Amino acid sequence: MRSHYHMILLLVTIFFPLFLWADEIPKSQKQITSYFQTTEGKIAYYQLGSGKKNFILLPGIGDRKESYAELASLLSKDGNVYVFDLRGLGDSDINFNSYGPKETALDTLAFIREKNLKDVYIIANSMTAASAVYIQSKEKKRVLGLVLSGPFVRDNEPMSFALKSILQIMFRGPWGPSAWVKFYESLFPVKPPKDLEERKNRLRENLKQEGRMAAIRSMLFASKKECEDELNNAKGNHIIIMGAKDPDFDSPEREANWIRDTIGGTVFLYENGGHYPFVEEPNRFYQNIQSLWQKK
């Protein structure tokens, strides 16, 4: 799989000594963080907007809720926006027993049910696209549509022992946070955001905290099978957005079309986009997804 080769090609630069040391982290204001209590620990989120519609935004592996800031602001004109950190990342607790797409789905389902949310639309990136599929399969009446960007919804060929060993070394030890940040940077191959350096610094600072890199390693090796098994139960109102230059896929267009053909929906291919189209082109992203809830 192209993502495997992509990581391997980064090894030399990742282990270059420059990346062992973090830069000073500038202070900045944040949205007010709230917490949702699960049986194992707290999940961090922030909320914007108001209205009958409810939008839940789930980041990908290693990312943080702040990555959705621009899109969340745009969506707040249309309803309530809930932007989450995953287990073990951002401001969420680190004392969970496991991490992965099904775990994220179960946390989100618990939130939806406890808050009694209806008219829900889930926007997910990368690994959490699999989570979104699982969530909709279990709550068809509440969850009216999915937006999947840079989506991994299925397991492909098994990861080799050699690659698993390489990833364990890359993302363990004092160099782990900087190694991940260097990988994160590579996922914007054409159109990096103007504030990429600030995003990298904040991400590195967060990943230095105890337990954060362990959560990432667990997610990297987590199976999507239980979510993949629900694909046939999640057919309906979907939008799939893929960057044509996303280095995590052999053929981003082919994968997007496979997902569309499997669960239905509309594909948007961003010609110069990488793995985070909602960061690279938030206004275009917002315009493309409005058809999910706008009356025909």
What are the pLDDT tens digits along the chain (296 aa)?
A: 555 545 544 543 444 333 433 333 333 334 799 999 999 999 999 999 999 999 999 999 999 999 999 999 999 999 999 999 999 999 999 999 999 999 999 999 999 999 999 999 999 999 999 999 999 999 999 999 999 999 999 997 655 555 566 676 777 778 899 999 999 999 999 999 999 999 999 999 999 999 999 999 999 999 999 999 999 999 989 999 999 999 999 999 999 999 999 999 999 999 999 999 999 999 999 999 999 998 65
Continuous segment of H or E residues that includes residue 227: helix 225-228
CA-based nearest residue to 71, from 279, 268, 267, 266 = 279
Distance of alpha carbon 111 from alpha carbon 83, whole angstroms? 12
CA 79 to each of CA 46, 52, 75, 293: distance values in angstroms, whole numbers, following the listed order: 14, 6, 7, 11
What kind of architecture, by CATH, is found in domain 2-292?
Answer: 3-Layer(aba) Sandwich (3.40)
The residue behind tokens 């364990």 is 168
Torsion of CA 238, 221, 105, 39, to 10 degrees: -170
**Closest Cα partner for 239 from 277, 190, 187, 201?**
277
Look at residue 172 in the predicted model and tell me its pLDDT.
77
- For residue 3, the model assigns a pLDDT of 52
DSSP label at 230? T
The token duo for 204 is 């590195």
- pLDDT value of position 14: 47
pLDDT in the model for residue 173: 79
